[in-house]
Amino acid sequence: MTKANPLLKPKKLDRATLISIVIICLVYVLAFVLEQVMPASSMLFTVLKKGATYALVAVSMNLLNGFTGLFSLGQAGFMLIGAYTYAIFTIPVASRLSVYQYYNGGLIQFSLPVVIAIVLAGVFAAFFAFLIGLPVLRLKSDYLAIATLGFAEIIRAIFQWDKIGFLTNGSNLLRLFPTFNDFNIRNANGDVVLYLSTLVPFVITGVCVAFVMLLINSSFGRAFKAIRDDETAAEAMGINLARHKMLAFCTSSFFAGVGGAMLAMYANSVQAKSFTTAMTYEVLLMVVIGGIGSVTGSVLSSFVFVACSEWWLRFLDQEQVINGWKVPLLRNGFRLVVFSLIIMAVVLFFRQGIMGSKELPDLFRKRHKLAGKGGAKS
Amino acid sequence: MFSTVLPYLLSGISVGGQYALIAIGYTMVYGILRLINFAHGDVFMVAGILMVYITASGAPLYVAIPLVLVMTAVIGFAIERVAYKPLRSAPRMSIMISAIGVSYTLQNLVLYITGGLNQFYPSIPFISETITIGGASTRMVTIVTPILTLVLVILLVLLINHTKIGMAMRAVSKDFETSRLMGIKINSVISVTFVIGSFLAAVGSVLYFTNYTTVIQTSGNMPGLKAFVAAVFGGIGSVPGAVVGAFIIGICENLLKGLDTILIKAGWSTSMFGFTTFSDAFTFALLIIILIVKPTGLFGEKQTEKV
């Protein structure tokens, strides 16, 4: 008496999925309500906005590294393309002369609506990924890693080249484009009547992550996992390796590009210099902490990662005096040392990360004790 | 024409030698563990920082330099024991992630210790001196680097080919499991590899930072990546390959830096193209071309993928 394979059963919304959906909705409502009642300068919102941005990038990286088994380190490069695309197309025409002050206002003399620019950011990143993927995806594991890392560096160099400064503004900042704060609805006096600056990144990330989830649970997703587990076997089963790898690579880059656009909106300015390899490494560490192969884990760990590095561990950077005893070691930069040691501990001893390869609904399925530990999944 | 090219060529050879010393560490570790040791560039940087702090504490150079070399070797050994050894049976991706974690940790540690400020590298009397070769003024280090690199490489090749530990290294890089069955102590072989790699990186750092004079926590990134490219270019796993690759990359990169000036002086061009921007990108373009055309590199052995 074997149980029917759950994969073959027609999909039904079971209890666990419903609970997950309710939790996710609650998180959104909470984010919306908190933003209306708490002061906008609170550190919480910085963390939530940046966390949502990185959550998307981490999920996009997980799609590639965790689900398809392609160890790519080009995420920062695709974020850069996304961020620049968004910025270039949304700077208001009136501000172009002051932004492109060394290039006579630049080449492009129109600006697109934000939503279109975000989509374009993803499309451009995916297009570049397609071009890069043609030669690079033939490479295996660590060679692929180093080649994609190399491409990210090349992209960074090209965007700083002053010969194409009319587009990219050379090595100067791009700024004055719409940011998250511009989503707040203001009245005639300029006072904010409805805060949306946190909800908007949550919504963008939510839509994108939902799409990734659908992709992973589709036949494409199963093909990705088959490629990850055994390339030769997958090929023997009739999976077109080149096509599926390319699809995963381009999809991942699309969302990395959207994430880049969100990072631009978060940071208020874009400069190619800041999209370093270290940025890719940070995203990779988020994926590892969350659990390679778990979208929920990536999202959770992005928020935790950002919260730790921006907020919760801040106290380690200041000198503390407890009952007249000066705590040793605490000074600028100590936070990062502690943080990296924690990461090393996770990498070495908790290789499963927060979630392993489980998703949010899985928490409510087998053991009910775990229920209530759901947490934020945007 | 030649006098315009010469200074760039000289600094290319010098930088190439420094990359070569780092590249050996990558290539040896990869040969044995099949691991890109992302932390190697940071070990190189830490050697630079150690030098700054040791000389600042008043130690004379003849004490400081050997001390730096030994301490860097110990750090390399410790990194392997702490971060890579526990993961020996784990998938390759885990070890690579651990290497990235070590790199992140070392950078943050140095950031904490130095406060994120540029540290000035002490000038070393003999090799910091300025000399003139064929009308081009340069530092003594430019001459010393290639010579020292070649001497060290020859010694290393002798060690690998003619000693017992060298034989063990070759055996391990050929077949990890079988050499273990043959009674080779894998762990000590791997440790020796890391010690040699870190030692050479430390020598490289003394030469490199004499040229560039400042050290900061991110100083190791670029030289590390380029040295890795050199190792791949020469055929990863091959020591002579890494050295040849490193010299080629060093020279090409520096010629590219000077290409604008060279072209203008030769009368072939009248405006600056801004090739300098691409001196870093060039290295990676080279990497991608070599990976596609000849993935085993110049001197690499053909390897068949085992299922």
Q: Tell me, what's the pLDDT at B70?
A: 95
Q: Which residues of chain A are within 8 Å of residue B305 when distances are taken between CB atoms?
A: 140
| Residue B2 pLDDT level (bands cut at 50, 70, 90) | confident
Of A32-41, A230-239, B74-83, minimum mean pLDDT range: A32-41
> Which residue carries 């791009």 as its tokens?
A174
Mean pLDDT of A207-229: 91
Q: How near does any CA of chain A get to the CA of B298, in Å? A: 16
pLDDT at A346 over 90: no
Q: Are B93 and B79 in contact (CB under 8 A)?
A: no
CA distances from B34 to A141, A277, B237 (A): 11, 22, 9
User: Do A145 and B36 make contact, defined as CB atoms within 8 angstroms?
Assistant: yes
Task: Label residues A43-58 b or e (16+ Cβ within 10 Å = b).
Answer: ebbbbbbbbbbbbbbb
DSSP state string for A298-329: HHHHHHHHHHIIIIITGGGGS--EETTEEPTT
Computed over every residue of chain A, the mean pLDDT equals 84
- In this structure, what token pair is assigned to residue B236? 């990863």
- Among the partner-chain residues A153, A284, A334, the one whose CB lies closest to the CB of B112 is A334
Q: Tell me, what's the pLDDT at A209?
A: 92
How many domains are there within chain B? 1
User: Do A153 and B281 make contact, defined as CB atoms within 8 angstroms?
Assistant: yes
| Residue A377 pLDDT level (bands cut at 50, 70, 90) | very low
Q: Tell me, what's the pLDDT at A211?
A: 93
3-class secondary-structure state, position B214 = strand
Q: How near does any CA of chain B get to the CA of A340, in Å? A: 5
Mean pLDDT of A236-258: 93
- Indicate whether B270 belongs to any domain: yes
CATH of the domain at B64: 1.10.3470
Mean pLDDT of B193-209: 93
User: Do A153 and B277 make contact, defined as CB atoms within 8 angstroms?
Assistant: no
Mean pLDDT of A239-262: 93
- In this structure, what token pair is assigned to residue A369? 């004790």
Q: Which residues contact A156 (CB under 8 A, 6 or more apart)?
A: A76, A77, A80, A272, A273, A275, A276, B281
Dihedrals phi, psi of A309, to nearest 5 degrees: -75, -25
Mean pLDDT of B274-288: 79
Q: Are A355 and A290 in contact (CB under 8 A)?
A: yes
Q: Which of B201, B177, B259 is nearest to B49 (CA)?
A: B201
Q: How open is the CA angle A103-A105-A111, to the nearest 5 degrees? A: 135
Q: Which of A123, A82, A19 is nearest to A377 (CA)?
A: A19
- Indicate whether B170 belongs to any domain: yes
* Cα–Cα dist B114/A332, whole Å: 10
Q: Which helix (H) or strand (E) holds B139?
A: strand B136-139
Angle between helices B92-114 and A141-159 (to 10 degrees): 40
Q: Tell me the one-letter amino acid at A313.
A: L
Q: Tell me, what's the pLDDT at A181?
A: 81
Q: Tell me, what's the pLDDT at A174?
A: 86
Mean pLDDT of B257-278: 75
- Indicate whether B306 belongs to any domain: no
Residue window 266-285, chain A: list those with CB within 8 Å of chain B.
Answer: 276-278, 281-282, 284-285
CA distances from A188 to A185, A194, A196, A198 (A): 10, 13, 17, 22
Q: Tell me, what's the pLDDT at A116?
A: 92
Highest mean pLDDT among A104-113, A160-169, A264-273: A264-273
pLDDT at B303 over 60: no
Q: How near does any CA of chain A get to the CA of B271, in Å? A: 12
Of B97-106, B198-207, B287-296, minimum mean pLDDT range: B287-296
Half-sphere exposure of A57 (CA within 13 A, CB side): 37
Residue window 179-208, chain A: list those with CB within 8 Å of chain B.
Answer: none
pLDDT: is A250 or A377 the higher one? Answer: A250
Extract long-range pairs of A227-234: CB within 8 Å, 24+ residues apart: A227/A68, A227/A69, A228/A66, A228/A67, A228/A68, A228/A69, A229/A69, A231/A69, A232/B307
What is the CB neighbour count within 10 angstroms for residue A352?
15
Q: Are B27 and B238 in contact (CB under 8 A)?
A: yes
Write down the domain spans for chain A: 15-275
pLDDT at A41 over 90: no
pLDDT at A167 over 60: yes
Of A84-93, A167-176, A309-318, minimum mean pLDDT range: A309-318
Q: Are B168 and B189 in contact (CB under 8 A)?
A: yes
Q: Tell me, what's the pLDDT at A339?
A: 84
* Cα–Cα dist A71/B224, whole Å: 19
* Cα–Cα dist B164/B167, whole Å: 5
- Indicate whether B298 belongs to any domain: no
| Residue A194 pLDDT level (bands cut at 50, 70, 90) | confident
User: Do A336 and B96 make contact, defined as CB atoms within 8 angstroms?
Assistant: no
Dihedrals phi, psi of B43, to nearest 5 degrees: -60, -40
Q: Which of A108, A126, A96, A140 is nearest to A231 (CA)?
A: A140
- Indicate whether B144 belongs to any domain: yes
* Cα–Cα dist A300/A304, whole Å: 6
Q: Tell me, what's the pLDDT at A208?
A: 93
pLDDT at A378 over 60: no
Q: Which of B240, B287, B236, B300 is nearest to B30 (CA)?
A: B236
CA distances from B8 to B55, B205, B252 (A): 31, 20, 9
Q: What are the pLDDT digits (tens) for A125-148?
A: 999 999 989 888 888 777 888 888
- In this structure, what token pair is assigned to residue A261? 């656009």
Q: Tell me, what's the pLDDT at A127?
A: 95
User: Do A161 and B288 make contact, defined as CB atoms within 8 angstroms?
Assistant: no
Whether chain B has a CB inside 8 Å of the CB on A339: the answer is: yes
Hey, of B80, B100, B225, B253, which one would you mutate to test binding to chain A, going by the most A CBs within 10 A of its CB?
Answer: B100
Dihedral angle sign, alpha carbons of residues B163, B146, B139, B16: negative
Q: Tell me, what's the pLDDT at B307?
A: 40
Q: Which residues of chain A are within 8 Å of residue B287 when distances are taken between CB atoms?
A: 146-147, 150
Instruction: Look up the domain containing B247 and give its range.
Output: 2-293
Computed over every residue of chain B, the mean pLDDT equals 86
Q: How near does any CA of chain A get to the CA of B80, in Å? A: 12
- Among the partner-chain residues B82, B100, B277, the one whose CB lies closest to the CB of A160 is B277
Q: Tell me the one-letter amino acid at B102.
A: V
Of A273-277, A362-366, B25-29, minimum mean pLDDT range: A362-366
Q: Tell me, what's the pLDDT at A157?
A: 85
Dihedrals phi, psi of B289, to nearest 5 degrees: -60, -45
Angle between helices B186-212 and B2-33 (to 10 degrees): 160
| Residue B51 pLDDT level (bands cut at 50, 70, 90) | very high
Q: Tell me, what's the pLDDT at B77?
A: 95
Q: Which helix (H) or strand (E) holds A245?
A: helix A241-267
- Measured between its terminal Cα atoms, the distance across chain A in Å is 40
Half-sphere exposure of B81 (CA within 13 A, CB side): 10
The complex's ipTM works out to: 0.82
Q: Outline where DSSP puts E strands in chain A.
A: 174-175, 185-186, 192-194, 269-270, 321-322, 325-326
